[in-house]
Amino acid sequence: MNNADYSQKVIEMKNITKKFGSFKALDGVNLTLHKGEVHALLGENGAGKTTLMNVLYGLYAANEGEVYVKGEKLTSANPSIAIEKGVGMVHQHFMLVEPFTVVENIMLGTESVKGLGVLDSESAKEKAEEIMEKYGLKVKLDEKVEDISVGMQQRVEIIKALYRGADIIIFDEPTAVLTPQEIEDFIKIVEELTHQGKSIIIITHKLREIKAMADNCTIIRRGKYIDTVKVSEVSEEELAGKMVGREVNFDVEKKEKEAGEVVLKLENLTVKDNRNIEKVRGLSLELRRGEILGIAGVDGNGQSQLIEGMTGLRKIESGKVILNGVDITNRSPKEIIGAGLSNIPEDRQKRGLVMDFKISENMILENYNKEPFSKKGKLNKKAISDFANTLIAKFDVRPANEEAYAKELSGGNQQKVIIAREVTNNPDVLIAAQPTRGLDVGAIEFVHKSLVEQRDQDKAVLLISFELDEVLNVSDRIAVIYDGKIVGIVNPKDTDEKELGYMMAGGGVHDEE
């Protein structure tokens, strides 16, 4: 972004080592940040990026190594000290108190008071308004955080940091949950921040964003420092190679294939959300055998309700779901699964797994009451563990121990368990909702391969993703969802992100009413 002033080091982390028990999450990592610089931090899942930043922010105390902020050594680990020194952090999972208003969140921890500890929201609002003005960040201060969009929530986080006078801001995977439009806005905000002399550290798995935003990039692998490179001098492939220590194939390998007969038909579906608002509004769609149909769309346009409606988790108000010619509208989840519809759920920890169950128990979640896993209500332990072991081997789940609990697995391996289970159900239609969210490139590769395999076996796959890249690379056809309806179906070969983004934002849609 070229606002960097290399004569001023604002952060120096030297030889940082951090242990959790006997496990070394960080092992001698270095990082230097200059004034006005945007510095990317790259590494696989679990490489230690977040841990490193938590050390910087004072949430963890390092076992070894030193941290200097603007030349001063930090002597103890405590967020208040970091805050005082001008370090702000926007966490991967937003650190916002949902039932609080925006302004309450902004001032929390550095509240203005009138005396006797009585809150003075007015002066906090004034101060926040000033910041919003200066950096072009607009949010409604009196709304509750739980009622605003994710993009807005991120702005709140940024304002929070600035409110505390931060001039060094750490972003942990800031774009993972944003829409393309919001990502663009975010890049502009970063630009504006560095322009005003702020320094930025950004963690992201998206190499393109690194290229777009960062001046330099530090790469760590399994807690070890690998390299720091000038972003303008390396390609995306080189970055990825450094990150995983081998070559990475970005393209999804996919043979040409003719789609077959229609297997799933959605007719005029209407589904409401928890607040009783119609989120899916007269949606129709056809899915054929042997194709991957991608659904592109900005979060909140009815994707979740659509999936829940189809899978029997939410009532369909009107319309029909027809699978293999059978009407499965508003059947119970059990019946729908039985009819041949499987689902890799959006939220793997909430819906996909029972975290306190063993891998083996999770593997039979939909089939525990079928033979051979049980007979007349009695579980067959041997059949279950044999089954689990087969899948563990086939899908390379680590650790390869059916007795391990789901909560002990890493995100990528949790996803593998789900995919193994759903694919083994041998469904006619597989719904994959955000199947690669939060996964690193290696894991993503695996997931995409699995989806394509399904397609090649003449199954139908419905891929729902906010990642345009993914939708474009993996799908055979792309349907764009906007405001609860399909607003267009395009061929990935004949389109690009720009057009999709336009459609996803409702461009070209004219409401009938």
Give the footprint of another protein on this chain (CB under 8 A).
20-21, 57, 59-60, 78-80, 83, 89, 91, 94-100, 104, 108-111, 113, 116-119, 160, 311, 313, 332-334, 337, 343, 345, 347, 350-357, 361, 365-366, 368-369, 374, 377-379, 381
Judged by CB under 5 A, the residue of 282, 300, 411, 442 near Mg ion is 411
366 to 395, contacts with Mg ion by CB under 5 A? none
Cis peptide before 79 (omega within 30 of 0): no
343 is in the binding site of which of ligand ATP, Mg ion, another protein, none (Cβ under 5 to 8 A by kind)? another protein
Window 185 to 204, contacts with ligand ATP (CB under 6 A) = none
Window 437-496: residues binding ligand ATP (CB under 6 A) = 440, 443
311 binds, among ligand ATP, Mg ion, another protein, none (CB under 5 to 8 A by kind): another protein
Q: Kindly give, in sequence order, each residue whose CB lies less than 8 Å from that of residue 245, ignoring residues fewer than 6 positions away.
A: 221
Category of 506 on φ-ψ map: left (φ > 0), alpha (ψ -120 to 50) or beta: left
The binder of ligand ATP chosen from 411, 424, 458, 506 (CB under 6 A)? 411
Rounded to 10 degrees, the C-alpha dihedral 102/104/107/113 comes to 150
Q: Is 47 one of the binding residues for ligand ATP (CB under 6 A)?
A: yes
Q: How far apart are CA 192 and CA 331, in angstroms?
A: 52
Q: What are phi and psi of 142, to 5 degrees?
A: -95, 0
Q: Return the structure tokens found at 350.
A: 């909430």
Among Mg ion, another protein, ligand ATP, none, what does residue 25 contact (CB within 5–8 Å per kind)? ligand ATP
Three-class SS state of 323: strand
Cβ-contact 191, 133 below 8 angstroms: no
From the list 179-187, 332-340, 409-417, 505-513, the region that binds Mg ion by CB under 5 A is 409-417
Given another protein, Mg ion, ligand ATP, none, residue 209, with its beta carbon under 5 to 8 Å by kind, binds: none
Q: How is residue 348 annotated by DSSP?
A: I
Examine residue 45 and tell whether it contacts Mg ion (CB under 5 A).
Answer: yes
- With 0-12 / 13-18 / 19 or more C-beta atoms within 10 angstroms meaning exposed / middle / buried, residue 187 is middle
Among 9, 12, 30, 46, binds Mg ion (CB under 5 A): 46
Nearer to Mg ion, 89 or 240 (CB): 89
Residues 343, 307 contacting (CB under 8 angstroms): yes
Decide whether 330 or 401 has the Cβ nearer to ligand ATP. 401
346 scored as a contact of ligand ATP (CB under 6 A): no
- Residue number with CB closer to ligand ATP (69 or 219): 219
Burial 101-133 (b: 16+ CB within 10 A, else e): bbbbbbbeeeeeeeeeeeeebeebbebbeebbe
From residue 285, how far is each of 34, 302, 310, 430, 486 by CA, in Å?
Answer: 52, 14, 12, 15, 8
- Out of 105, 194, 367, 413, which residue is the one contacting ligand ATP (CB under 6 A)? 413
Distances 459 to 254, 260, 368, 425, 449 between C-alpha atoms, Å = 15, 9, 24, 12, 14
CB of 366 to another protein, least distance (A): 5
- Residue 513 and residue 503: Cα distance in Å, rounded? 19
Query: Pick from 3, 50, 342, 360: which binds Mg ion (CB under 5 A)?
Result: 50
Counting contacts by CB under 6 A, is residue 49 touching ligand ATP?
A: yes
Q: Which residues sit at the interface with Mg ion, rule CB under 5 A?
A: 45-46, 50, 411
Q: Which residues sit at the interface with ligand ATP, rule CB under 6 A?
A: 20, 25, 43-51, 408-413, 440, 443
